[in-house]
Amino acid sequence: MADPVKFTIDGQELTAAPGTLLINAAKEAGISIPAFCYYDNLSLQAACRMCLVEVEKTPKLQVACTLPVAEGMVVHTDSPQVRQARKGTLEFLLTNHPLDCPVCDKGGECELQDMVFRYGAGESRYRETKIHVDEKQWSPVVFYDAPRCILCYRCVRICGEGLGVSALGIGNRGAAAEIVPNGGDHLECDECGACIDICPVGALTSGTYRYKTRPWEMEHVGTICTHCSNGCKTTLGVRNGEIIRANNRDRSGVNGEFLCIKGRYAFDFNEHPDRLTAPLVRTNGELKPVSWAIALATVAKKFNELRARHAKFGVIGSNHTTNEENYLLQEFARQVLGTSNIDHHRTGDVATLMDALQGRSNALATIGDLLTAKAALVIDSDLAQEQPLIAFQLRSNARLNKGHIYAISPGPVREDNYATTTRAALGQEFEALEKWREQLAKEPELVILFGAAIKDNAIRQLVAFGDSLGIPVKYVCLVDYSNSRGASDMGLLPDLLPGYQPVSNAGLEPGLNVDQMLADPNLEALWVVGSNPFLRGNLAGRSAFLVVQDLFLTETARHADVVLPAASAYEKIGTVTNVCGEVQKLQRGPKTMGAKSDFEIIALLAREMHADLGRLTPEAVFNEIRQNVHGYNVPLLVVETGGAAPTAPVNGRVSFQSHPELIRSAQNTLYTSGTLGRYSQMLNSVLEAPGALYRDPGIEPLVKPGSVQVETIVSHD
């Protein structure tokens, strides 16, 4: 790297790498230069003129957001001239600004307010009429109020450069200039709301939040999104136990800038009126609300009775529950109920990947790697639909770090818009791969991401292919739900204990898998935790005693003998593991009266059954996981402080039998999120035209938004 340049800002002698923009160099030194249009990682605009500074030996004020530091440069960021310029610019900005701060959603967290407070004029010399334009609603989630807009173009850039969607543009000219949506009078986009969050003022507001509260009335709880496997950090704005808003206000977490529509808006399932708030017990064929004590006693009595005569139990765990809950559940199943019949809906063949990698370290990519890897290859996934953050990372990688992105898919994918892509029917991926072999081998490194269609032997073949390239290769098995990876890692599998240890280590025989359990007429009890297996099938032996823990009366819960209302991921603490195997901590935000976390439910059941589970706080269980599960010995400091800690849950071969028929993608899209998504009114109100954001809009995308799992929501009265 070239020698750092020396320069002076406000008397401080500083150095920075050549090419560093003055605004960033100053920030490094703790000197903040105000700016509206400058935004990290987005293209330079120099449009707002807030960042003007004085540079000695130049006659005019200079724009700090585009000026690279130079040797010997002497800069003043707080001279009278600079202060006057800022004031002047703010005065200009405020001329047409409505000054409706008292009713503006952004009031209290508005960059314009802050700037005027810090640098502005206390009084306005503007006595002309303001231009009024009516507010427009562009989509269920996006509203635009042109007069408030200061035209910093952040929204246009985050949508185009960041998200690769380019749904926003600039219309008109001069004082009439405004932001315009791609659909003429509405938006056809991912509805991710990034534009709203990035807006420094209240010009873009969200349909889920507007006019609901003042920002300072909320408590801000940083937790992990519960929708997909990517594990985005989200900050819940909670008021009186209710989620009012979700965003990633401090840009922390693996997702930084990013959240998709689900992360930002689909929290409303949590307040859905159909949320279960009291346990239900079937009496005379009907589910009737009862107290927790009765419900737990009913289950405990039945479980103890069946346990005493070694009846056949089945346990189906969840892709949404925490690692601690999963760990406890499998332990409960294996030790208390004495059964190996435990499984979950597998959305990716994680175990086979672990086996194929034979525990080698450094072969699992992190979300962060996806931004920096020199090359990445996606097989059989329309990332933008199915793995929103990963899609964002790869796109940013291509844009900011010039990473090479490749994609093989049976249909159009968004990566067509910027990456090297090719089509291959399912099963033909390796022919396409061979064609790229030479090119891939020239890459200094590669991350391979694959969807649920690549399973069993195909994974082994893929790893062999990766090995044959002679370059460092990392992998991501694209699973679907918020803790799919954790469910697998924590041993919600009939033949594997936590950390992919064979059940024989615990002196057990492999048990039944999901399909086998459902098909087994001799099953006497089925305990379903946060899962909805009956969506696809039904229980063969209808006589089995069915206990369901869930948020809603799902297809499965409707058949239950006992339904226990569970808390959502937003209502509990614990850890989850994202698609890349990074562990992150949940924080408790809202609460739903009557519901209990699955952890609590399992513990209460144990107490009721007089079973001793030992340590009974999530923290204690996490500590045990850290000790017992290989690769989960993550630094507490990282996890406790809201970081993401990568794991490597295997250190050798995995002894198990792969069941490719059990690997089923959840087929969630940007606008669907399994059962939770069905209870999000916001998600269901967004009906996007599929294909519009693909390079060839004539072709149907691989996964059609709205095609799967969006059903009319169960109405309540």
**Residue 369 token pair:** 């790697």
Token pair 């033909």 is found at 428
Task: Name, in order, each residue with C-beta under 8 angstroms of 654's C-beta and a sequence gap of 6 or more.
Answer: 351, 352, 354, 355, 496, 500
> Toward another protein, which CB reaches closer, 48 or 370?
48
> Toward another protein, which CB reaches closer, 123 or 717?
123
> Toward another protein, which CB reaches closer, 99 or 297?
99
> Toward another protein, which CB reaches closer, 202 or 618?
202
> Toward another protein, which CB reaches closer, 48 or 503?
48
Q: Distance between CA atoms of 562 and 528, rounded to whole angstroms?
A: 10
Q: Distance between CA atoms of 16 and 28, rounded to whole angstroms?
A: 9
Among the candidate windows 2-10, 43-51, 386-394, 446-454, which touches another protein by CB under 8 A?
Answer: 43-51
Q: Distance between CA atoms of 691 and 704, rounded to whole angstroms?
A: 8
User: What string of DSSP letters covers 297-343?
Assistant: HHHHHHHHHHHHTTPPEEEE--SSS-HHHHHHHHHIIIIIS----EE
| DSSP three-state, residue 465 | helix
Q: Considering the rule CB under 8 A, would residue 96 count as an interface residue with another protein?
A: yes
> Toward another protein, which CB reaches closer, 99 or 278?
99
Q: Distance between CA atoms of 376 and 363, rounded to whole angstroms?
A: 13
Site string for another protein, 230-269 (x = CB under 8 A): ----------------------------------------
413, 421 in Cβ contact below 8 A?
yes
The greatest distance separating any two alpha carbons of the chain, rounded to the nearest whole angstrom, comes to 92
Q: Considering the rule CB under 8 A, would residue 176 count as an interface residue with another protein?
A: yes
Candidates 494, 485, 503; CA nearest to 649 is 485
Candidates 476, 507, 483, 508; CA nearest to 494 is 508
> Toward another protein, which CB reaches closer, 123 or 711?
123
> Toward another protein, which CB reaches closer, 147 or 594?
147
Q: Considering the rule CB under 8 A, would residue 285 count as an interface residue with another protein?
A: no
CB of 213 to another protein, least distance (A): 24
For the segment 53-72, give every residue that binds another protein (CB under 8 A). Answer: 59-61, 66
Q: Considering the rule CB under 8 A, would residue 92 count as an interface residue with another protein?
A: yes
319, 482 in Cβ contact below 8 A?
yes
> Toward another protein, which CB reaches closer, 180 or 603?
180
CB of 152 to another protein, least distance (A): 9
CB of 693 to another protein, least distance (A): 10
Element (H, E) at 294: helix 292-308
Candidates 248, 249, 143, 261; CA nearest to 205 is 143
Among the candidate windows 89-97, 263-271, 273-281, 326-334, which touches another protein by CB under 8 A?
Answer: 89-97
Q: Considering the rule CB under 8 A, would residue 18 count as an interface residue with another protein?
A: no
> Toward another protein, which CB reaches closer, 113 or 230?
113
> Toward another protein, which CB reaches closer, 52 or 654?
52
Selected from 75, 104, 167, 452, the binder of another protein by CB under 8 A is: 167
Q: Considering the rule CB under 8 A, would residue 172 count as an interface residue with another protein?
A: yes
Token pair 């509805």 is found at 191
> Toward another protein, which CB reaches closer, 57 or 125?
125
CB of 188 to another protein, least distance (A): 9
Q: Distance between CA atoms of 258 and 193, rounded to whole angstroms?
A: 9
380, 455 in Cβ contact below 8 A?
no
149, 179 in Cβ contact below 8 A?
yes
Question: Edge-to-edge strand order for the sheet containing 12-16?
Answer: 12-16, 5-9, 74-76, 52-55, 62-63
Task: Name, in order, each residue with C-beta under 8 angstroms of 282's C-beta and a sequence gap of 6 or more.
Answer: 288, 560, 561, 562
Compute how many other C-beta atoms are within 10 angstroms of the C-beta atom of residue 441.
12
> Toward another protein, which CB reaches closer, 30 or 174?
174
> Toward another protein, which CB reaches closer, 173 or 716?
173
> Toward another protein, which CB reaches closer, 148 or 474?
148
| DSSP three-state, residue 145 | coil
Selected from 174, 273, 507, 698, the binder of another protein by CB under 8 A is: 174
Selected from 8, 15, 79, 95, the binder of another protein by CB under 8 A is: 95
Q: Considering the rule CB under 8 A, would residue 33 count as an interface residue with another protein?
A: no
CB of 149 to another protein, least distance (A): 11
Compute how many other C-beta atoms are within 10 angstroms of the C-beta atom of residue 667.
17
Selected from 180, 194, 296, 342, the binder of another protein by CB under 8 A is: 180
Q: Distance between CA atoms of 368 and 475, rounded to whole angstroms?
A: 13
Among the candidate windows 179-187, 355-363, 585-593, 627-635, which touches another protein by CB under 8 A?
Answer: 179-187
Selected from 17, 29, 47, 297, the binder of another protein by CB under 8 A is: 47
Q: Considering the rule CB under 8 A, would residue 52 count as an interface residue with another protein?
A: yes
Selected from 7, 9, 14, 49, the binder of another protein by CB under 8 A is: 49
Q: Distance between CA atoms of 52 and 82, rounded to whole angstroms?
A: 7
Q: Considering the rule CB under 8 A, would residue 445 count as an interface residue with another protein?
A: no
CB of 66 to another protein, least distance (A): 6
> Toward another protein, which CB reaches closer, 47 or 616?
47
CB of 386 to another protein, least distance (A): 24
| DSSP state, residue 284 | T
Candidates 5, 568, 477, 73; CA nearest to 274 is 568
162, 400 in Cβ contact below 8 A?
no
Selected from 70, 175, 441, 689, the binder of another protein by CB under 8 A is: 175
Among the candidate windows 40-48, 238-246, 313-321, 339-347, which touches another protein by CB under 8 A?
Answer: 40-48
Among the candidate windows 161-169, 290-298, 680-688, 706-714, which touches another protein by CB under 8 A?
Answer: 161-169
CB of 128 to another protein, least distance (A): 4
Among the candidate windows 174-182, 214-222, 397-405, 606-614, which touches another protein by CB under 8 A?
Answer: 174-182
Compute how many other C-beta atoms are within 10 angstroms of the C-beta atom of residue 662.
19
Q: Considering the rule CB under 8 A, would residue 99 count as an interface residue with another protein?
A: yes
Q: Considering the rule CB under 8 A, would residue 85 count as an interface residue with another protein?
A: yes
Selected from 8, 182, 213, 587, the binder of another protein by CB under 8 A is: 182
Amino acid identity, position 132: H
Backbone angles phi, psi at 476, to 5 degrees: -135, 120
Amino acid identity, position 620: A
Amino acid identity, position 121: A
Q: Distance between CA atoms of 600 and 285, rounded to whole angstroms?
A: 28
Q: Considering the rule CB under 8 A, would residue 173 count as an interface residue with another protein?
A: yes
> Toward another protein, which CB reaches closer, 150 or 383?
150
Element (H, E) at 436: helix 429-441
Selected from 17, 44, 400, 616, the binder of another protein by CB under 8 A is: 44
Element (H, E) at 476: strand 473-477
CB of 712 to another protein, least distance (A): 32
For the segment 100-159, give every residue that binds another protein (CB under 8 A). Answer: 116, 120-129, 150-151
Measure the CA dihedral 601/603/608/611, to 10°: 140
Binding site for another protein (CB under 8 A): 44-50, 52, 59-61, 66, 85, 88-89, 91-96, 99, 116, 120-129, 150-151, 166-177, 180-182, 184
